[in-house]
Chains A and B, each alone.
Chain A
């Protein structure tokens, strides 16, 4: 079983749609959670961190359920520019002064159509 699992998609949605991505992780000791965005042939870029209380950044909302080991990302009012691969990322290390090791999911591809 993969440490971080995502539905690879692709998700094809029209502009303005709301789309949700899900992710599960297997290591209950995981401490930090993130969503990254990766455009074709580019490096991943941090989209947002994910906290147990949930957090929102404009049209993006991330949720974490530690009991179910489940992370979600909701994108509202999709734009053409949101087309990319979204990577669910987990870090199991929580030691001050140590950046830990990131475990990446396979990524979910989103295509927003006009």
Chain B
């Protein structure tokens, strides 16, 4: 159980276009989903926390108008990179939080989306 999918797995687009990435929890409900970005040879950096039915919480330095997040259901969150530029090329990974018993709660990661902006 606890499978998270992402679509697409990779995308190449022209500068100025918008790209939507989907993150789905396949076999559990996720009240909270997280969006990360990873540049080559660097670690994952949290971009935003997405809560079902409410506005996302963005990390410092992440432009909310550029990275639009929608979490309309308990199994789906989307990240739209608007007017993408070459510097937005990166590996975007989502994770879904599943509330466990007691105080230990887990995050399950999607396989990631590799975005290349030409």
Contact = CB atoms under 8 A, between A and B. Distances in A.
Interface in A38-90: 41-46, 49, 87
A99 B99 contact: yes
A114 interface: no
Contacts of B54: none
A60 to B, nearest CB: 18
Interface residues of B, number: 26
Interface string B44-60: 11100100000000000
B43 A101 contact: no
A102 to B, nearest CB: 6
Contacts of B105: 97-100
B44 A99 contact: no
A17 interface: no
Contacts of B42: 106
25 contacts: A32-B104, A41-B91, A43-B109, A43-B110, A44-B44, A87-B43, A94-B103, A96-B103, A97-B99, A98-B32, A98-B105, A99-B97, A99-B99, A99-B105, A99-B106, A99-B107, A100-B105, A101-B46, A102-B107, A104-B36, A104-B43, A104-B44, A106-B42, A106-B43, A107-B43
